[in-house]
Amino acid sequence: MSKAFTKENEADDDDGDGGGLPPLPVGGKNYITPTGYARLRSELLGLMDVERPKVVEAVHWAAKNGDRSENGDYLYGKKRLREIDRRIRFLTKRLEIAEVTDPSVHHGSDQIFFGSTVRYADENGDEREVTILGIDEANSAHAQVSWISPIARALLKAREGDVVKLATPGGVHDIEILAVSYPVPSSELN
């Protein structure tokens, strides 16, 4: 059978390259902040308008250089093109189902909703702060958690001063909510 009609490996699936992101909950929404949406859209446009045309040009140039089976530039370019196309499909699907939610509408509220930054203390008195964001924008290195994470699920809808239960592999722990904040609405910045 011709190689053109076979997949090279399982990583070439259409649903792949989610960047290691968990799948969305069944029937759930893909909540995202306006900033996160703009970041994903910018990445998509950059791939389509800048990155992909460069790689296509490089592959075209490499293809003119003769034997493609031993042409590293050609083989690498084709592989990179598949990666770009897979990421474009992923971003397109995620943006199509995105539900942009502006957390600044809750500015001044003491109840925890999507987009809030929450400071809490565990049973030992250790304080932590997390911001609850969308699956596609949360970055644990910046103390950002997805709204479907266990900590976010425990915190959502609670208020400052509440004590909530957090189920972890090590057991159920009480955490006290110390402070809740939201970004300032853009209308108040001017």
pLDDT of residue 157: 95
CB 118 within 8 A of CB 177: yes
Taking the C-alpha atoms of residue 55 and residue 45, their distance in angstroms, rounded to an integer, is 15
pLDDT of residue 126: 94
62-91 pLDDT per residue, tens: 888 777 777 788 889 999 999 999 999 999
21-60 pLDDT per residue, tens: 556 666 667 899 999 999 999 999 999 999 999 999 988 8
In the Cβ-directed half-sphere of 146, how many Cα atoms lie within 13 Å? 13
pLDDT of residue 8: 47
- Choose among 134, 179, 180: nearest CA to 39: 134
pLDDT of residue 180: 96
Taking the C-alpha atoms of residue 75 and residue 3, their distance in angstroms, rounded to an integer, is 14
pLDDT of residue 66: 73
pLDDT of residue 18: 52
Calculate mean pLDDT across residues 156-169: 94
pLDDT of residue 43: 97
pLDDT of residue 23: 65
Domains of the chain (ranges; CATH) run: 16-100 (1.10.287.180), 106-183 (3.10.50.30)
pLDDT of residue 13: 46
